Structure 1
Amino acid sequence: MTMLKRLVAGTALGLIVASGAQAREMRVSSFEPPQGFYSAQILQAWIDEVNPKLSEGNAFKLYPGSMLGAPPAQAELVKAGVADVALVVPTYTPGLFPMSGVVEVPGIARTSAQGTAVLNALADEGFLAAEYADYKIIALFTTPGYRLLMKGNGASAPDDLKGLKLRTPSPFGTRLLEMMGASGVSIPAPQVYENLERGVVSGAVWVFDAYKTFRLDEVAPTVTTTRITASPMAILMNKASYEALSEDDRAVIDAMAGRGAAEWVAGVVDAADAALEQGFRDGGKVTFIDQEGEAAEAWAAALSSASELWVADQADPAAARAVLDRATAVASEATTN
């Protein structure tokens, strides 16, 4: 929490509601269960920092476990005002946030810090203005790179995936799997365990926080550490809800939003990812197939045309090319810094 507290340190804010601003509870929607990583360590942590600084009567409250709507509905819930704030996965709603999906291209977001640097640079430079025009952005960030969580002996090389069905994170994730001869199956997060247990899929392309939250180590005990893709993530707020707050309360939100908030989230995400991986390694029940040197190069070669595929898939290839070029440059800078 140290970095998060620094975001608001030194900000002197009043606690009087301005004329016309009505105090109320503001709903924060999460599709994860209350104990899920993003529910507990990101959204609730953010709420716990913001609420004490708001005017009396104004407070955010977490509504976890898809209480307000299914995972793909989160962006619309915020836009419609059903939720005041929500955790949104932009790739769950194809077409709404097309340029944010650039971080799905292999190599753009190996860590959350790297992907978060990319998304915030794109936002600051206007590349994402159209897709977030209806929202107050609290934070844009990414997952760490997705690994392969597999049943049986797992996959040591891309050819090992041929003919297999895997849980895919997105339509573009499916395209990546198809490049390696596998098929992508879209499965809601809470149902992945059951589908792995029944053999409907042989694995999942996912991250360690989901691996723990949904106990997937019990049914997919082999992890291939190549980082195939990543997902963009966003915490978005309803514009009308934000604008209805007093000037002082909007200042509280502003101090807890934007690049600083995103970098805090990325730090929490990457630290948790590393700790969870180490915990699974130390536990001895999960087999890791580490990919380095020539092994890593084989995966890179299998996915070498992914960036061109992503550009070709976009409605405006010229705009997508500009976004990809900038994202690649920022990702390179983030790797060396």
Structure 2
Amino acid sequence: MNARRMTINAAVGTALAGLSLGAAAQTINLKLHHFLGPKAPAHSQMLVPWSQRVEKASGGKVKIEVFPSMALGGKPPQLINQARDGVVDLIWTVNGYTANLFPRSEVFELPFVHTNSATATNLAMRAMYDQYLKTEYKGVHPLFLHVHAGQAIHMVDKEVRKPDDLKGLKMRIPTRTGAWIIEALGASPVGMPVPDLPQALSKKVVDGAFIPWEIIPPLKIQDVTDYQIEGPNRMRFGTTTFQVSMNQARWDSLPADLKKAFESQSGEAWVREVGQIWTKSEDFGIGLAVKAGNKHIVLTDVELAAFREKLEPVVQRWVNEVKGQGIDGAALVKAARENIARFSK
């Protein structure tokens, strides 16, 4: 009897172990790689919560591990190829790091195309994706595209109220459109990774930077600047476009129910929320700077008009640039402005 019991128990144990192994085998583990630190709102308030929602929607069949700070190796401009080559499964990256690959998406970065609402621009990108943008996302499957709140001006010790105030200064820029904006304002663009910015500001390697308020807390920008400048009604000087994308082959290998889990958490409601996440992060960031004693300058409509006059040629410069790639930039600018206006109502 005891021997029989032992045999039955062993059989049951083997069966349960088999079920456990089967369940483990069904779990798909994915790696999401990005360039900012774990304290950045993009990591803690967007990428991690989104990953958790996808996991929940999948019923536990998907597990996403998020790796910040380029923890899996390489440099930020290499992220897109890491995804395309299958080195990682998922990435969050700046399109402008490899602007030559995403010229159409660049339209949303232009000054006074993106205005003052990350949510409206996110929705415009989503609305225009199939007709205008899809062709350039080869080798990856974008889950969602978005922008940040827009480029504001941070200055070490120079108050800026007109374009001439920037003349001859060195400004950190995020992308080539940012460089064009700075050049149009008479300053010199300096490219560098975001984590290097605090030291560059403290040592006056640069006199200021084009970057949103949300980066103030994680990089302690309030400690190395005196002035933060933006236009009325949160008006900004262009923005930066981002993508969260999966390796195309990896996406194609997923069963339909898991694709649905990703899509259900990456749709219109989510990109609206992403815009709101950025707005809240902006409010917190500028509040921290003001609390530290920095001066928050909001330009008047008249002051902003002087910047607009200087920056409108940047839009035409971009139109001329992409024409050489067979892209109708003027049509893209028109469509982007119309869609952003539509979603701003």
TM-score higher than 0.5 here? Answer: yes
Query: Counterpart in 2 of 1:99?
Result: 104
Gapped regions of structure 2 (runs ≥ 5): 1-21
Separation (CA, whole Å) in 2 of partners of 1:273 and 1:219: 18
Larger radius of gyration: 2
RMSD: 2.1
Query: Counterpart in 2 of 1:74?
Result: 79
Separation (CA, whole Å) in 1 of partners of 2:123 and 2:58: 29
Query: Counterpart in 1 of 2:13?
Result: none
Query: Counterpart in 2 of 1:301?
Result: 309
2:36 pairs with one of 21, 25, 32: 32
Query: Counterpart in 2 of 1:252?
Result: 261
Q: What's the CA shift for 1:295?
A: 1.1
Alignment of 1:112-123 (within 5 A): 112-123=118-129
Alignment of 1:24-63 (within 5 A): 24-56=28-60, 58-63=62-67
Equivalent AA in structure 1 for residue 281 of structure 2: A
TM-score under structure 2 length normalisation: 0.86
Equivalent AA in structure 2 for residue 202 of structure 1: D
Query: Counterpart in 2 of 1:271?
Result: 280
Work out whether residues 137 and 257 of structure 1, in 8 Å CA contact, stay in contact via their aligned partners in 2.
no
Q: What's the CA shift for 1:28?
A: 0.7
Separation (CA, whole Å) in 2 of partners of 1:246 and 1:117: 27
Work out whether residues 22 and 245 of structure 1, in 8 Å CA contact, stay in contact via their aligned partners in 2.
no
CA shift digits 1:66-118 (9 cap, x unpaired): 11232111111111112211111101102111111111211122221122122
Work out whether residues 215 and 285 of structure 2, in 8 Å CA contact, stay in contact via their aligned partners in 1.
no
Sequence identity of aligned pairs in percent?
23
Count of aligned positions = 317
Alignment of 1:152-301 (within 5 A): 152-226=157-231, 227-281=236-290, 283-301=291-309
Separation (CA, whole Å) in 1 of partners of 2:167 and 2:326: 30
Work out whether residues 216 and 285 of structure 2, in 8 Å CA contact, stay in contact via their aligned partners in 1.
no
Q: What's the CA shift for 1:237?
A: 1.1
Separation (CA, whole Å) in 1 of partners of 2:288 and 2:170: 28
CA shift digits 1:121-179 (9 cap, x unpaired): 2204x100211242222111111121100011331111000000100111121111111
Equivalent AA in structure 2 for residue 249 of structure 1: L
Separation (CA, whole Å) in 1 of partners of 2:132 and 2:327: 12
Separation (CA, whole Å) in 1 of partners of 2:191 and 2:318: 19
Q: What's the CA shift for 1:244?
A: 2.1
Work out whether residues 113 and 267 of structure 1, in 8 Å CA contact, stay in contact via their aligned partners in 2.
yes
Work out whether residues 217 and 288 of structure 2, in 8 Å CA contact, stay in contact via their aligned partners in 1.
no
Q: What's the CA shift for 1:24?
A: 3.2
Query: Counterpart in 1 of 2:144?
Result: 139
Give the stretch that moved more between structures: 240-249 or 301-310: 240-249
Equivalent AA in structure 1 for residue 65 of structure 2: K
Q: After TM superposition, which residue ranges in structure 1, 4 or more long, deviate above 4 angstroms?
A: none
Q: Tell me the secondary structure at the aligned position of residue 186 of structure 2.
A: coil
Q: Tell me the secondary structure at the aligned position of residue 206 of structure 2.
A: coil
Work out whether residues 54 and 62 of structure 2, in 8 Å CA contact, stay in contact via their aligned partners in 1.
no
Q: What's the CA shift for 1:22?
A: 5.3
Judged with a 3 Å threshold, the aligned counterparts in structure 2 of structure 1 residues 278 and 198 are, in CA distance, closer, same or farther, namely closer
Work out whether residues 216 and 286 of structure 2, in 8 Å CA contact, stay in contact via their aligned partners in 1.
no
Equivalent AA in structure 2 for residue 121 of structure 1: A
Equivalent AA in structure 1 for residue 341 of structure 2: S
Work out whether residues 96 and 240 of structure 2, in 8 Å CA contact, stay in contact via their aligned partners in 1.
yes
Alignment of 1:16-27 (within 5 A): 23-27=27-31
Separation (CA, whole Å) in 1 of partners of 2:320 and 2:267: 30
CA shift digits 1:24-47 (9 cap, x unpaired): 320011211112111111100111
Higher helix share: 2
